[in-house]
Amino acid sequence: MLQKKKRDSSLRTVDLTTLADASLENTGNLLEVRGLRTSFFTDEGVVKAVDGMDFDVPTGKTLGIVGESGSGKSIGARSLMQLVDKPGRIVDGQILLNNGDGRAVDIASLDPRGDAIRRIRGKEIAMIFQEPMSSLSPVHTIGRQIGEMIELHMGYDKEQTRERVLELLKKVEMPKASTAIDSYTFELSGGMRQRAMIAMGLACDPRLLIADEPTTALDVTTQAVILDLIKDLQASTGMSVMFITHDLGVIAEVADEVAVMYLGTVVERGSVHEIFNDPKHPYTRALLRSIPRLGLEKQRRLAAISGMVPHPFNRPGGCPFHNRCPEVIPGVCDRIVPPREALGPGKDVRCLLHSDVDHLKAEAEEASHE
Ligand SMILES: Nc1ncnc2c1ncn2[C@@H]1O[C@H](COP(=O)(O)OP(=O)(O)O)[C@@H](O)[C@H]1O
Ligand SMILES: [Mg+2]
């Protein structure tokens, strides 16, 4: 267990040698996120976009994050780079990034505009998105844009930079790389743009690549090609990948470990094998049932999860999934917030079916008398 640390901007690094059992080197994790909460303070009220995210990204492996639209996947990912736009901000939690020397930096405590996070963004952690056009500029060649990242972080001169860009474009198997380097985004196909963005992500050899629905906008064939590319790149570079998608079918393709999100919370975590073969949370089971299968009509598939994801202003009390859950325990699931129950290493669930409810009730009773 990682020791809870007070938020303190002067305490930028955590010396893991002083924390019992807390060395990220021993856990084999590049990143450990604990109790992350990110909210938007809007005029209409507070949107708790991320409300208790706990997960690990193992070194050199892929963590898949899956959940319906609006479950906080993107805001959670942006939080890891302190890239949450106003009026949003991280309100609680730890984001421990292994420095590789037995120490970890807590990204959650860094100033979003400070030098420390600038050294991490793009260099240690890079991110690619669903829509390349939103992060690629239409008025500069892709060679120039990828080159900028390299000049910023690696201190290369013009010639070295161009060489490196070309090397990257070949690495992402960009067709006709030596011509593509001087192309503008509008001259490229969707798959080629996505390759350009991946090349930009890889520019500084990041230790973690966050891919936020990178194949959702692509046709099925290109999607498969890009997934293979990301897998091959990971195998050759040894980087960790955090792969975000609403599609469990994609998770089965790419992930080693899986975190299932619902309304800003990780409700279940486990290996890809455990999640698919022995899901513990009713929400995970519902998601699994909703995977399109040959022979099933569309209507039946869509009926798999009843009800709608509640609006974040109307977050239900107790378990956030209770009003859609086929296994709800009345009087319990609508009252008690399920704690994170450890089921094994890297495996946990937030569901009262797996908690000692009597004990939790007694605890709540006690707290109300204090
Ligand atoms: N700028 C913003 N202001 C207010 N709420 C926001 C903002 N950005 C995202 N949200 C809310 O945060 C929640 C999580 O969003 P997001 O992380 O984008 O979900 P996902 O990526 O899982 O589809 C949603 O309810 C969304 O409406
Ligand atoms: Mg998203």
**Range in 162-166, 268-272, 313-317 with the lowest mean pLDDT:** 313-317
Which range among 10-14, 253-257, 295-299 has the greatest average pLDDT? 253-257
> 268 with 281: CB under 8 angstroms?
yes
Mean pLDDT (whole number) for 121-135:
86
Ligand 2 centroid from CA 312, angstroms: 15
Ligand minimally distant from the alpha carbon of residue 39: 1
**Residue 107 CA from chain centroid, whole number:** 15
> d(Cα 269, Cα 58) in Å, to the nearest integer?
13
Query: pLDDT at residue 298 above 70?
Result: no
DSSP state of 16: G
Q: What pLDDT score was predicted for residue 6?
A: 39
- Higher-pLDDT residue of 80 and 303 is 80
Mean pLDDT (whole number) for 294-301:
51
- Higher-pLDDT residue of 331 and 307 is 331
Residue spans of alpha helices (H) in 6-127: 24-27, 73-80, 115-120
> 274 with 347: CB under 8 angstroms?
yes
> d(Cα 257, Cα 286) in Å, to the nearest integer?
19
Q: Phi, psi (5° rounding) for residue 148?
A: -60, -45
- Higher-pLDDT residue of 294 and 232 is 232
Residue 19 half-sphere exposure toward CB, CA atoms < 13 A = 19
State the chain's mean pLDDT as an integer.
87
Dig out the tokens for 33 from the structure. Answer: 């996120």
List pLDDT tens digits, range 26-83: 678 999 999 999 999 999 899 999 999 999 999 999 999 999 989 999 999 999 999 9
Residue spans of alpha helices (H) in 190-342: 190-202, 220-237, 248-254, 272-277, 282-289, 298-302
Mean pLDDT (whole number) for 116-136:
88
Query: What whole-number percentage of the chain has pLDDT above 90?
Result: 67
Mean pLDDT (whole number) for 136-165:
91
Ligand 2 centroid from CA 2, angstroms: 28
User: Cα separations (Å) of 260 from 65, 82, 118, 278?
Assistant: 6, 22, 29, 14
Pocket test for ligand 1, best of 36, 39, 40, 66 (most atoms within 8 A of CB): 40
Q: Give the residues across from 262 on adjacent strands.
A: 265
Q: What pLDDT score was predicted for residue 192?
A: 92
Q: What pLDDT score was predicted for residue 26?
A: 67
Query: pLDDT at residue 208 above 90?
Result: yes
Pocket test for ligand 1, best of 42, 43, 69, 75 (most atoms within 8 A of CB): 75
Query: pLDDT at residue 222 above 50?
Result: yes
Q: What pLDDT score was predicted for residue 166?
A: 96
Query: pLDDT at residue 8 above 80?
Result: no
List pLDDT tens digits, range 165-191: 999 999 999 999 999 999 999 999 989
Query: pLDDT at residue 241 above 90?
Result: yes
Mean pLDDT (whole number) for 248-263:
95
| Confidence (pTM) | 0.89
Q: Whose CA is nearest to atom 18 of ligand 1?
A: 74
Query: What confidence tier does 365 reach under pLDDT thresholds 50, 70, 90?
Result: confident
Pocket lining: 49 vs ligand 1, CB cutoff 6 Å:
yes
